[in-house]
Amino acid sequence: MGRRIAAIIRHGDYHQTPSAPSALQPYPLNTTGEQQAQAAATTINTLLSDNPWQLVSTIDCSQPLRGWQTADIIATALSTNSEESIKVESFDALAERSVGAAANLTSAQIRAVIERDPRYPELPQGWKSDSHFRLPLQGAESLLEAGARVAEHITQQLNALPEQQEDQLKLFVGHGAAFRHAAYRLGVLEYEQIAKLSMYHADPILIEQLRDGRWQRIAGEWKVRSATSAYKD
């Protein structure tokens, strides 16, 4: 049976509300983000030219506009060099970590909401980047829970591919923090690496599902966080 490879691609840069967790922000790519998505298509085309891989004809992406736009730009560019049209399908399972009822509030507003609710203790410092922390609000999840959700989707989608002799490459467009925590869940990253790394916008990282069920990174580079960088995923 041929190899099964997933390209995980963070969406391009977009018109993000400052100081607000990105999860469900509905805003489009900016010009830089559109250019990054075009560059991602070029990278994928180069990989396909250099390797005997068959591109799976459907790109999975998250529901927010920036995820769909990134996937659509990539699909349009790849379709010009493909024998069949590349389609895009959106999935809730590829969403960024949900902050639940606090969606699209700024970090200061979220802290104020918690402070006004007598049921909850004060938010800990660094709560946004704490992999285990879940806001005590309806619909919220931890980063590790988001990673498990994304890892399950990637695994299920690759396992659902038909068995064939050719190596297959499937593209997934989503969000940096959820993808990093998915990589940890899949054994591609160590836990200590999660906070030290980020993802470049629209720069594919390729991970392969081995026959024994293990995963390994085979191409693409993580972005190394500086000690002073703010958490923006």
Counts for the chain of helices (H) and strands (E), in that order: 6, 9
Strands (E), the chain: 4-10, 53-55, 58-62, 87-91, 167-174, 197-198, 205-209, 215-219, 223-224
Q: What is the pLDDT of residues 26-78, one digit of tens each?
A: 999 999 999 999 999 999 999 999 999 999 999 999 999 999 999 999 999 99
Residues 6+ apart with CB under 8 A from 156: none
pLDDT of 12 above 80: yes
- Token couple for 140: 């919220």
pLDDT per position as a tens digit, 166-179: 999 999 999 999 99
- Strands 215-219 and 167-174 turn out to be unpaired
- Of the CA atoms within 13 Å of residue 51, those in its CB half-sphere come to 20
Pick the CATH number of 4-98+141-224 from 3.40.30.10, 3.40.630.30, 3.40.50.150, 3.40.50.1240: 3.40.50.1240
DSSP conformation class of 213: S
Show me where the domains of the chain are located. 4-98+141-224
